[in-house]
Amino acid sequence: MSGQQSEPARLYGWDASRQTQLRAFTGGAVPVAVYGLGKMGLPLAAVYADVSGNVTGVDIDSDVARAVDAGRCPVEGEPGLPEEVERLAGDGSLSATTDATGAAADAGVHVIIVPTLIEDDEPDLSALEAAVRSVGAGLDAGDVVVVESTVPPRTCRDRVRPWLEAESGLELGEFGLAFCPERTMSGRALQDIRGSHPKVVGGADAESERVAELIYGEITDAEVIPVADCTTAECVKVFEGLYRDVNIALANELATLAGEFGVDVTEAIDVANTQPFCDIHTPGPGVGGHCIPYYPYFVISEFEGATPLLQTARHVNEYMPTFTVERAAEALDERGRDLSESTVAVFGLTYRPGVDETRASPGVAVAEELAERAETVYAVDPICTSAPPEGVQRVSLDAIGARELDLAVVTTGHEEFGEIPWSAFEDLTVFDGRHMLDDEDTSHPVSRLGDGSDED
Ligand SMILES: NC(=O)C1=CN([C@@H]2O[C@H](COP(=O)(O)OP(=O)(O)OC[C@H]3O[C@@H](n4cnc5c(N)ncnc54)[C@H](O)[C@@H]3O)[C@@H](O)[C@H]2O)C=CC1
Ligand SMILES: CC(=O)N[C@@H]1[C@@H](OP(=O)(O)OP(=O)(O)OC[C@H]2O[C@@H](n3ccc(=O)[nH]c3=O)[C@H](O)[C@@H]2O)O[C@H](C(=O)O)[C@@H](O)[C@@H]1O
């Protein structure tokens, strides 16, 4: 729905009735700028544009900005998003630019969802700082700034607010600041943003919280949960990620003990999880993406307190690619083959199915280790657009059947791998790191991560 353009309004500190403010926001009178049009930012900009009818997306990548402005969707793998971007750009609800300061000068709501990464185990907030300072340079009294990027606790309080005040010459109280984390999975971003989970909002002051609640009451159909402040909201998001990394590490550590137990730990895990107080996660060849493996360092490296559990969990998960290669080499050895004289195919370079992302990806780490130890290494991945690691040859799923293989290692559970031409191979050893294969899928002997087949 494209908003009817009326006199631009500013929500922060506006004493009009709630209904008047809601009409202004949903009627396009409050221009919105969304900074970062990536896997999360573009779906978010689309939902904001659908609700407010007046969104300018900002990205430093001119190809991205140009595509979105023309109604084309540069983000793959998000059902419904290409159609939404085309519709919203077409009706004038969504435009895009690389001019952050220009967009900031016009906007009354600034939503920041740029990457927050790790460099040498330290948080890299350079993209956040660049975006926030651009917003500050265009900030006006009455504006509200919403940070959705995942950040270390205290970032809004100790970094974002001072950056905004320094660039704008304004003070909090003249503008608003809130942290409203993105709790969304790639591949289902639109439905998640529109309301799969409660939306957490934390304001730097009471008026910021009020405005954030008013906005997200329109963006999401789910409950909006206000918390004490920005830092509490930052903790909510980071804690979710810490919980996941620690619990994946538990599953992985159990998988490394399967040989001693002499059991398939995934069977034991599945049954242990039949009672409500147990939610042991799924063992795998490692933890990838630019979220879960990174968030622990938002606490480990940022705070003085001891974090032995977080660090141990990271070490367990970072060891899993090596464990996977060791187990695959053992499976090969049991068949009288030496890895150093073998040809291996790694099935899966992206960190999880359906998402074209290889940051911290287990498949990449496994392929890199195999490139050091095996004679020839191929990588097969139906969606990965990144170059394979050095020493690894990319082969398509259609072409791999023509290659002589001694070992196949499954590291990502792409659904396309249901089409792997197993019968094309002779005398093949298969190591399934993702418990993706059933016995009837292939006649070749299959070892699985944590299946206990390495029984001492
Ligand atoms: N990918 C995911 O599953 C989730 C990510 N998040 C968080 O969302 C944030 C964004 O992540 P993604 O969308 O996955 O990143 P992404 O890498 O897919 O996209 C980031 C986009 O921001 C642009 N960008 C970089 N610096 C910029 C700047 N200074 N100004 C404007 N644009 C800039 C890049 O060109 C790129 O188009 C991160 O903080 C991440 O932790 C939160 C929940 C889920
Ligand atoms: C707490 C939580 O579930 N966070 C989700 C997570 O999504 P993300 O795309 O990183 O995928 P993920 O399912 O957590 O997987 C991360 C990595 O961990 C691996 N993984 C995951 C679950 C598991 O039981 N075992 C396992 O080995 C995956 O293979 C992958 O390599 O991180 C997202 C984020 O914050 O960026 C977040 O929005 C998502 O809801």
pLDDT tens-digit readout, 413-452? 999 999 999 999 999 999 999 999 998 899 999 999 999 9
216 domain-assigned: yes
Q: For a pocket test of ligand 1, which of 37, 40, 192 has the largest count of ligand atoms closer than 8 A to its C-beta?
A: 40
Mean pLDDT of the chain: 96
25 domain-assigned: yes
Catalytic, 384? Answer no
Residue nearest to atom 36 of ligand 1 (CA): 38
Q: What is the domain extent for residue 394?
A: 256-456
Q: Does ligand 1 come within 6 angstroms of the Cβ of 116?
A: yes
328 domain-assigned: yes
Q: Examine the domain organization and report whether 220 and 90 are in the same domain.
A: yes
Q: Does ligand 1 come within 6 angstroms of the Cβ of 192?
A: no
Domain count, the chain: 2
ipTM field: 0.97
Residue that terminates a domain, selected from 176, 197, 232: 232
Q: Examine the domain organization and report whether 286 and 345 are in the same domain.
A: yes
pLDDT, one tens digit per residue, over 166-181 is 999 999 999 999 999 9
Q: For a pocket test of ligand 1, which of 60, 114, 357 has the largest count of ligand atoms closer than 8 A to its C-beta?
A: 114
Average pLDDT in the 190-214 region? Answer: 98
Residue nearest to atom 18 of ligand 2 (CA): 287
Q: Which ligand 2 atom sits nearest the alpha carbon of residue 292?
A: 10
Q: Examine the domain organization and report whether 214 and 75 are in the same domain.
A: yes
What is the DSSP code string of 255-283? HHTHHHHTS-HHHHHHHHTTSTT------
CATH number of the domain within which 394 lies: 3.40.50.720
Residue-level pLDDT at 456: 72
Label residue 454 by pLDDT band (50, 70, 90): confident
What order do you get walking across the sheet with 109-112 strand by strand?
94-97, 55-58, 32-35, 109-112, 144-147, 176-179, 199-203, 224-227
Q: Does ligand 1 come within 6 angstroms of the Cβ of 113?
A: yes
Q: Examine the domain organization and report whether 270 and 365 are in the same domain.
A: yes
Helices (H), 91-229: 100-106, 126-137, 155, 161-168, 189-195, 206-219
Q: Does ligand 1 come within 6 angstroms of the Cβ of 131?
A: yes
244 domain-assigned: no
pLDDT, one tens digit per residue, over 121-165 is 999 999 999 999 999 999 999 999 999 999 999 999 999 999 999
100 domain-assigned: yes
271 domain-assigned: yes
Rounded Cα distance between 303 and 308, Å, is 13
Q: Examine the domain organization and report whether 217 and 265 are in the same domain.
A: no
Residue-level pLDDT at 4: 47
Residue-level pLDDT at 3: 44
Q: Examine the domain organization and report whether 260 and 228 are in the same domain.
A: no
Q: How far is the CA of 276 from the centre of ligand 2 (A)?
A: 21
Q: Examine the domain organization and report whether 91 and 166 are in the same domain.
A: yes
Residue-level pLDDT at 232: 98
Q: Does ligand 1 come within 6 angstroms of the Cβ of 229?
A: no
| Closest ligand (CA of 352) | 2
Catalytic, 291? Answer yes
Please list the residues that pair with 58 across neighbouring strands. 35, 97
- How many helices (H) and strands (E) the chain has is answered by 16, 16
Q: Does ligand 1 come within 6 angstroms of the Cβ of 65?
A: no
Query: Residue 64 class from Cβ within 10 Å (0-12 exposed, 13-18 middle, 19+ buried)?
Result: buried
Rounded Cα distance between 173 and 169, Å, is 12
Q: Examine the domain organization and report whether 299 and 440 are in the same domain.
A: yes
Q: Examine the domain organization and report whether 179 and 280 are in the same domain.
A: no
Q: Examine the domain organization and report whether 191 and 264 are in the same domain.
A: no
Rounded percentage of the chain residues whose pLDDT exceeds 90: 96
3 domain-assigned: no
Residue that terminates a domain, selected from 232, 265, 295: 232
pLDDT, one tens digit per residue, over 306-322 is 999 999 999 999 999 99
Q: Examine the domain organization and report whether 296 and 227 are in the same domain.
A: no
pLDDT, one tens digit per residue, over 249-266 is 999 999 999 999 999 999
Q: Examine the domain organization and report whether 213 and 275 are in the same domain.
A: no
Please list the residues that pair with 124 across neighbouring strands. 117
Q: How far is the CA of 113 from the centre of ligand 1 (A)?
A: 6
pLDDT at 337 over 70: yes
Label residue 6 by pLDDT band (50, 70, 90): low
**3-state percent breakdown (helix, strand, coil) of the chain, nearest 5:** 40, 15, 45
Catalytic residue among 180, 230, 235, 291: 291
pLDDT, one tens digit per residue, over 55-94 is 999 999 999 999 999 999 999 999 999 999 999 999 999 9
408 domain-assigned: yes
Q: How far is the CA of 269 from the centre of ligand 1 (A)?
A: 34
